[in-house]
Amino acid sequence: MQEYSEQKHFLFAVDCIIFGYDGQELKLLVIKRGIEPLKGSWSLVGGFISDTESSENAAVRVLKDLTGLDGIYMEQLYGFSEPDRDTVERTISIAYFALIDIQKYKQQINENYHPAWFSINQLPELIFDHSKIVELAKEKLRYNAALHPLLFELLPDKFTMPQLQSLYEAVYNAEFDKGNFNRKLLSTKLLLKLKDKDKLNSKKGAFYYMVDPNKYNEGFKNFLNLIPGQNAIK
């Protein structure tokens, strides 16, 4: 163990993995890097941490600065610290991931850094180790969403069961039985059935639901195992 004064100092950054859903596909928000080198290359939303803020604060600030997005769900993903991960100068980065409904925030997004949504299955080349970071984020999203009511963050406030089911199917690249899906989600008691229907996607129309704000927090810890077959031990 050595004295403080003998220690090296390093750059420290945050990167945000922003997943969005547009009703069809799971997408990732990337921007055009604004500084040299590699200016103009696709990059995660990221930036350096300042003197007085925590990485959590930095993630929120950077996201707002670069995209205009504010007040969205975020959690820490992982710290990346390979000495050569940033080719300019050694930079340690803590990655955060965020979930948003693309439609809902369409107005809010500013265009300064040319943000673009890419389908999670057709991502462009990203700078540094950002592709690796995204892979880890996808894994964590699937893992966490199976156990916690996370994915609601990706939907409008009002949504239908078929919409919710498509989202889960998009995230897990799988098809679920609608009957069982319905019952499972309703059994959580986390959803409130509304009186009106969405009639755009079907003739019969599907009832809207919303998350019960009173039960959301308590429900967060005791959610479901949503992935069929995952319970079975082979």
Of 64, 125, 66, 55, give the one whose Cα is nearest residue 93.
55
37: preceding bond cis by omega (within 30 degrees): yes
| Other residues' Cβ atoms within 10 Å of the Cβ of residue 192 | 13
Of 105, 101, 16, 102, give the one whose Cα is nearest residue 56.
16
CB neighbour list of residue 14: distance below 8 Å, 6 or more residues apart:
46, 47, 49, 55, 58, 59, 62, 93, 94, 95, 96
What gap in Å lies between CA 162 and CA 181, rounded to an integer?
9
SS3 209: strand
What gap in Å lies between CA 41 and CA 85, rounded to an integer?
16
What gap in Å lies between CA 227 and CA 135, rounded to an integer?
19
The residue within the footprint of DNA, chosen from 87, 183, 212, 218 (CB under 7 A), is 183
SS3 196: strand
Cβ 71 to its own copies, closest distance in Å? 21
SS3 182: helix
Footprint (CB under 7 A) of DNA, residues 194-233: 197, 199, 201-207, 224-225, 228-233
Q: 97 or 209, CB closer to DNA?
A: 209
Q: Is 103 in the site for its own copies (CB under 8 A)?
A: no
Residue 87 contact, options DNA, its own copies, none, Cβ 5-8 Å cut-off depending on partner type: none
Q: Which stretch binds DNA (CB under 7 A): 38-46, 138-146, 182-190, 210-218?
A: 182-190
The residue within the footprint of DNA, chosen from 169, 177, 212, 218 (CB under 7 A), is 177
The residue within the footprint of its own copies, chosen from 2, 107, 122, 217 (CB under 8 A), is 2
Q: 83 or 179, CB closer to DNA?
A: 179
Of 172, 152, 174, 175, give the one whose Cα is nearest residue 164.
152
Residue 199 contact, options its own copies, DNA, none, Cβ 5-8 Å cut-off depending on partner type: DNA
Q: Which stretch binds DNA (CB under 7 A): 83-91, 94-102, 119-127, 171-179?
A: 171-179
- In the complex, which residues of this chain contact DNA (CB under 7 A)? 160-162, 177-180, 182-184, 187, 197, 199, 201-207, 224-225, 228-233
| Binding residues vs its own copies (CB under 8 A) | 1-4, 7-12, 33-35, 47-56, 65-66, 76, 78-79, 81-83, 88-90, 92, 94, 113, 187-189, 222-225, 230-231, 233-234
